[in-house]
């Protein structure tokens, strides 16, 4: 879900990401840290407020989102075939 929140290319704050995925800030923070450790997202300081962290998809994260989109399509096709 975290990667989906960033797939539109818009940088988002930690609070925005937590709100999108529907988790508390502490739980969301763990997911953000794990995704960052896996090099799926990148963190940078806010331009106006240096205390605010802004997140974007890394190149690896973009590849992962594309892979997930392809898998979703395959699953959808398989379901469609089952419903025929």
pLDDT at site 72? 65
pLDDT at site 44? 94
Provide block-wise average pLDDT over 10 residues at a time, the chain (84 residues): 91 93 92 96 89 94 90 72 74
The fold of 2-83 is Arc Repressor Mutant, subunit A (1.10.10)
DSSP labels for 4-70? HHHTTS--EEHHHHHHHHT--HHHHHHHHHHHHHTTSEEEEE-SS-TTSEEEEE-HHHHHHHHHHHH
């Amino acid at each position: 879900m975290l990667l989906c929140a960033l797939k539109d290319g818009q940088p988002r704050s930690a609070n925005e990401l937590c709100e999108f995925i529907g988790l508390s800030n502490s739980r969301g923070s763990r997911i953000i840290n794990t995704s960052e450790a896996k090099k799926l997202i990148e963190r940078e300081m806010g331009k106006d407020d240096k205390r605010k962290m802004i997140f974007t998809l890394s190149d690896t994260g973009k590849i992962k989102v594309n892979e997930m989109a392809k898998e979703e399509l395959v699953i959808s096709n398989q379901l469609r075939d089952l419903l025929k």
